[in-house]
Structure 1
Amino acid sequence: MHLPKEQIPTRIDVPGAVARQLKGFGATTADETMGAEYFSLAAGTDIAPLLAGLEGDQCQAPHWGYLITGEVAVSYGDGSAEQVSGGDVFFWPGGHSVAVHEDAEVVLFSPQVAHGRVIDHLHAQLVPAGS
């Protein structure tokens, strides 16, 4: 299966951030379906304030991915942090937040239900009710 990023449904589209999520991209087990996601994030984007209200005020979904371009700082609930740069592959376990230092294009593969809840929460923070 393959799909151009433009055909991945857009879930969030606000100044500085576009999040696309394709549900049902594959399964790792009989009960866990994966989503394929493509994010375009502007420098200065910090999702930490938007995660308030989720468990630990962090994204609890794990992600496997590839940072095409840019630079992203990832902070974890245990106080550790790391920099991810364009060309890096990565795994982010649940319990993290992200801040963008250079405009970034990111491909993620995530458990669909777990990350869908996070995207729904972010969307609710960004888009006024009824919009």
Structure 2
Amino acid sequence: MTAANRDDVPVVIEGGGVELRTKPIGGDLSVGFIRLPKGAHMGPAMQGLPGDACQCPHWGYLIKGRLTMHTPAGDDVYEAGQAYYWGPGHVPEALEDSEFVEFSPTEDFRPVVDHIKSQMS
């Protein structure tokens, strides 16, 4: 059995109040611990990805805050206490300071993380 404590997972993206901690947790999945400050819109960091959006699916739980998830099908709002699935083609925007934990296919998530890091540097 594999477990991950947020504080033991390495920070891979940090800046402007955005924090992403991620590491492989078992099999083909990685765990991510994410913090987005109110007003953070990840659209600019995703410019240049297919559809200018994250193409990795995520399953997770919103611990704190509210987010709008922009998708080609329209926008959806998620609130603390909700579990979610976000399919390929999404862009998050924090309506409040938000924290969430999610699980993603490692090989699909890695290029998204690398792209965002290149946009933030």
Please, what TM-score do these two structures have when normalized by structure 2? 0.95
Residue 26 of structure 1, CA deviation? 2.1
Structure 2 residue 68 is matched with structure 1 residue 67? no
Residues 21 and 35, structure 1, Cα contact 8 Å, conserved in 2: yes
> How does 1:77-116 map onto structure 2 within 5 Å?
77-78=72-73, 80-116=74-110
Structure 2 residue 6 is matched with structure 1 residue 11? no
Larger Rg: 1
Q: CA RMSD in A?
A: 0.9
Residue 3 of structure 1, CA deviation? 2.2
Deviation per CA, 1:37-59, whole angstroms, max 9, x where unpaired?
00011001000111110001110
How far apart in 2 are the matches of 1:17 and 1:26? 25
Which letter maps to 1:51? Answer: M
The structure whose residues are more often strand, as a share, is: 1
Where does residue 52 of structure 2 map in the other structure?
57
Aligned residues: 120
How far apart in 2 are the matches of 1:89 and 1:76? 18
How far apart in 2 are the matches of 1:113 and 1:14? 24
Moved over 4 A (4+): none
Structure 2 residue 116 is matched with structure 1 residue 122? yes
Residue 122 of structure 1, CA deviation? 0.4
Share of identical aligned residues, percent? 31
How far apart in 2 are the matches of 1:3 and 1:49? 30
Deviation per CA, 1:96-122, whole angstroms, max 9, x where unpaired?
110000000110100111111101100
Where does residue 42 of structure 1 map in the other structure?
37
Structure 2, unaligned runs of 5 or more = none
